[in-house]
């Protein structure tokens, strides 16, 4: 697995973590399937923009070397906070013809950024610690003669 492929797959980590926590919480508190379905539908304001955002970042991270992935990983949570807030404003305006006050939106952007940094810690540590175990796209290109477009 290449460094950029691991970076791309780590974009799924927040979604998988949320699903696992939802299942554990529903099992611990003996909630039924209605609880899970209700929370899945209520989370669309977070996960629809996240999946759009993750698709864009997935494309940006494609075949990038480690030296570019680390700065990208440092900036992505900030961009996510802004992206999430703008998406939330769009959905709120479309549904209710109303937008929350600016101080509420700034608080929302701050917490979206904080949560994004927290969700990024584990994949970042794995990538940093095991950096040598993951191949870079350049190494695969040299070893196998693959073009950089085939590198994944």
Nearest Cα residue to 89 out of 116, 109, 111: 109
Q: Judge whether 89 and 57 are in contact, CB under 8 Å.
A: no
Residue range 45-97, pLDDT digits in tens: 788 888 888 899 888 888 888 788 888 888 888 898 898 888 888 888 888 88
Place of tokens 């990024």: 120
Provide the pLDDT for residue 25.
83
Query: Which pair of tokens denotes residue 83?
Result: 């992206």
Provide the pLDDT for residue 142.
62
Provide the pLDDT for residue 144.
61
Show me where the domains of the chain are located. 3-144
The mean pLDDT value of the chain amounts to 80
The three-class DSSP label of residue 2 is: strand
Nearest Cα residue to 43 out of 10, 84, 75, 11: 84
Mean pLDDT of the 40-48 span:
78
Per the DSSP assignment, residues forming a β-bridge with 135 are: 2
Q: Judge whether 69 and 127 are in contact, CB under 8 Å.
A: yes
């Amino acid at each position: 697995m290449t460094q950029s492929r691991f970076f791309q797959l780590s974009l799924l980590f927040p979604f998988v973590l949320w699903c696992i926590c939802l299942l554990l919480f529903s099992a611990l508190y003996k909630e039924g399937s209605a609880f899970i379905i209700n929370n899945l539908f209520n989370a669309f304001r977070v996960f629809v923009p996240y999946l759009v955002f993750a698709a864009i970042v997935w494309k940006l991270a494609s075949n990038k070397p480690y030296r570019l992935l680390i700065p990208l990983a440092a900036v992505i949570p900030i961009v996510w906070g802004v992206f999430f807030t703008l998406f939330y404003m769009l959905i709120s305006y479309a549904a209710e013809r109303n937008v929350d006050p600016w101080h509420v939106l700034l608080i929302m952007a701050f917490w979206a950024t904080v949560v994004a940094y927290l969700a990024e810690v584990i994949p970042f540590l794995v990538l940093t610690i095991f950096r040598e175990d993951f191949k870079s796209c350049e190494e695969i290109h040299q070893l196998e003669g693959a073009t950089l477009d085939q590198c994944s």
